[in-house]
Structure 1
Amino acid sequence: MPDTPDLYETLEIRYPPPRARGDPRPALPPPPAWSPRCPGCRRALGTAALLLLAVALAALGTLYVQGRGELRAARAELAAATDPLGPDSDGDSPSAAQRRQDRLGRWLQELALGWRYHRGKIYLFSGQRQPWAAAEAACAVTHAHLASVTNAEEQAYLAREARGGTYWIGLAATGPGGSWRWADGTPYSPERSFWAPGQPDSTDHGRWGGESCAQIHPVGAGLWNDHNCNFSFPWVCQRELSIP
């Protein structure tokens, strides 16, 4: 078979001649901002990317430190509760001590799955939306209830963690004559309630009925608002650490 010349050996590249002064043809467009002819632009973009990365790392670091703090607090409290020399464990059998240790392991696992620890309780802020009754049923699956709030410190914690969102809590007008009750059986006290100004107002929603369920609401920086129980909102589950 006769030899054939290589394609690149026979390829002739013709470059345009240099433009003469006074040439009426339009000039070539300038290079784009990201071109190697604009090194200053590339440096600016690199600096902006580094700043965004630093901000993201700082935010992740803050969340990591907060999570580690919650885990340490839970470990300390539960370790004290399961201390074999503690006052509550006199006369406990080995099987009872093992149950407490198992419970400690479950709490720590749940914290890793998104529950938040605060002063002897763990809370789960849902990422879904459900009517009030369905939200309470979702909490029951995890052996919890919609959150009950009975003091200003806990109210401040929940309002802060809600970050301006709206969440069902465990208060509903299900008692005699439409009186308010907590889903977990905690006694309701008007003196220890945290309604927003003008609430509850029992607004009528027509065919949906009135407002009989409570929620943490952005109005009043996380104070309570009553709303129709059939509307869907995120919710907060709550469990005591002492529950077996």
Structure 2
Amino acid sequence: MAAAGPDLYERLQIRYPPSPPARAPAPAAPPAASGCVLGTALAVATGVLLVLGATLVALIVLHVQGQAELRAAQAELAAVGAPLLLDPDGSQSPAKSPAAAQRQKEQLGRWLQGLALGWRYHDGQIYYFSGEHKAWGDAEAACRSSHSHLASITSPEEQDYLAREARGRPYWIGLTATGPGGSWRWVDGAAYSQAQSFWAPGQPDSTDHGKWGLEGCAQIHPVGNGLWNDHNCNFTFAWICKRDLSRP
């Protein structure tokens, strides 16, 4: 028997097709946002836009109102300013000399600047209602720094106006008790009259605050819808400044 040759399977070369290249795994899709979350976000965004819109409208309205009030005050001041303008010797001068016209222009300019800074015009005066709190003496010093004094009140109409504008808050006014008898006087030099005063019932009572001393300064007070109350001058309250149109 002839010797067996190499096995048939030994001579067979099996060729395998090349393996396909490995593919990177596809990125996972982001999870779908919850409908509830999207709805909440939209609601919040809508609410913010509505608030911003309402705030913008309110600011525009306040600006328009403020400009209208400023123009009205400017017209009134221009109308009443000329006859009240004083000459250097204290007399009123109906003649409109260049010097008088210049003084009037400067005076009205200061007034209008005050109105733009928060002062309020009423019947020939401008008033400033502070947002700070000071003792009576410090409040008067603050008024003097703006060429004014703590407010005097010399008529029922002026009392009604200031009590209304005080809106239920206490404010120092320019009335103080001085001298041995504690007589009352207006710090701006206006004449004080007991008959033309607006004290709340039982006031002034000069309550003794011990180490702080007696009550010797007046304020518009919420009790009695803005009638006057005497209080210790060392306590701190808001205050009202007043400038008279007839004073440069």
Bin for the TM-score computed over the shorter chain? 0.7 to 0.9
Q: How many residues align?
A: 217
Using the size of structure 2 for normalisation, the TM-score is: 0.74
Matched, 1:98 2:98: no
Q: In the alignment, is the contact (CA less than 8 A) between 1:70 and 1:118 conserved in 2?
A: no
Q: What is the correspondence of 1:66-85 to structure 2 with a 5 Å cutoff? A: 66=66, 68-82=68-82
**Matching residue within 219, 222, 229 for 1:215:** 219
Q: How far, CA to CA, are the matches of 2:179 and 2:74 in structure 1?
A: 35
Residues 35-85 of structure 1: per-residue CA shift (max 9 Å, x gap) = 21x37x8458736862674377347625642552244234333344338xx
Other-structure match for 1:24: none
Quote the sequence identity (%): 55
Q: How far, CA to CA, are the matches of 2:55 and 2:247 in structure 1?
A: 40
CA shift in 2, pair 1:210/1:64, >3 Å: farther
**Matching residue within 197, 203, 206 for 1:199:** 203
Other-structure match for 1:4: none
CA shift in 2, pair 1:118/1:91, >3 Å: closer
CA shift in 2, pair 1:10/1:171, >3 Å: farther
CA shift in 2, pair 1:53/1:133, >3 Å: same
Q: In the alignment, is the contact (CA less than 8 A) between 2:176 and 2:185 conserved in 1?
A: yes
**Matching residue within 120, 126, 136 for 2:124:** 120
CA shift in 2, pair 1:90/1:12, >3 Å: same
Q: What is the correspondence of 1:1-244 to structure 2 with a 5 Å cutoff? A: 10=24, 13=27, 35-36=37-38, 38=39, 42-43=42-43, 46=46, 50=50, 53-54=53-54, 57-58=57-58, 61-62=61-62, 64-66=64-66, 68-82=68-82, 89-175=93-179, 177-244=181-248
Q: For 1:215, what is the secondary structure of its paired residue?
A: strand
Residues 139-160 of structure 1: per-residue CA shift (max 9 Å, x gap) = 1122211000112221121122
Give the residue type in structure 2 aligned to 1:65.
Answer: Q
Q: How far, CA to CA, are the matches of 1:51 and 1:74 in structure 2?
A: 34
List alignment gaps of at least 5 residues for structure 2: 1-22, 84-91
Q: CA deviation at 1:92?
A: 4.3
Q: How far, CA to CA, are the matches of 2:146 and 2:176 in structure 1?
A: 20
Give the residue type in structure 1 aligned to 2:194.
Answer: P
Q: How far, CA to CA, are the matches of 2:153 and 2:67 in structure 1?
A: 23
Q: How far, CA to CA, are the matches of 1:179 and 1:67 in structure 2?
A: 43
Q: For 1:82, what is the secondary structure of its paired residue?
A: helix
Give the residue type in structure 2 aligned to 1:230.
Answer: N
CA shift in 2, pair 1:232/1:15, >3 Å: same
